[in-house]
Chains A and B, each alone.
Chain A
């Protein structure tokens, strides 16, 4: 089971929107609506931002949104803020025996 593919880094200015892609296969991202996204600040445990492709847990800003097309999922952060600077990981259920898989991770920089 290979990791899902994400860009290594994405950057944007405050107030702009950015999108992070997450590419998998029909055995994971493309085959199920169980894509989730996690935010991790340095020295902290990850925090879920999006689950089931586009759902936001209670307390997560509506500036974060998710979508999926085919084998690629996306996380969009609108109205970029300094506090959004962090690492972001996608993940998905997979039909392989391992059950779950992470993406390679994307470092978001707010310029």
Chain B
């Protein structure tokens, strides 16, 4: 059974750094892309970017380029989303999801990680 299990909720202060994770199981981690999606409170889904865990090729949406870092460790089938200086506007739920390499749809989703940034 394919599963994407994300790390737990975080509460941080502005300016702090943070890394959240997404551990994949039930399939070959390098077969498909792994994407990250932001959902701010009461708002829609926003595509942040995606990584090919096989070679770490990473593509960012222009809105998130330079704001976050997406990485992956194929030895432990885990993808990461990292911030070096959080802002209050980063408060949101972050989802990871598998993007089929040949089908280009998000067939499996993590449960979401709530990140709250507040002073």
Tell me the A residues contacting B by CB distance below 8 Å: 1, 3, 32, 34, 36, 38, 40, 45-48, 51-52, 57, 87, 89, 91-93, 97-105
Contact = CB atoms under 8 A, between A and B. Distances in A.
Interface of B: 33, 35, 37, 44-47, 49-50, 59-62, 95, 97, 99, 103-107, 109-112
Q: Which 8 A-B pairs have the closest CB atoms?
A: A105-B44, A36-B105, A51-B105, A34-B104, A93-B104, A45-B109, A98-B61, A99-B59
A36 B45 CA distance: 14
Nearest to B49: A98
Given A98-B47, A100-B47, A102-B46, 12 more contacts: A1-B62, A34-B103, A36-B104, A36-B105, A38-B45, A45-B110, A46-B37, A46-B97, A87-B44, A91-B105, A93-B104, A97-B59
If over half of B's interface residues share one DSSP class (helix, strand or loop), that class is named, otherwise mixed; here it is strand
Contacts of A104: 44
Contacts of B99: 99-100
Contact of B61 (A1, A47, A89, A91): A1
B45 A100 contact: no
B62 A48 contact: no
B64 to A, nearest CB: 9
Given A1-B62, A45-B95, A98-B60, A89 B109 contact: no
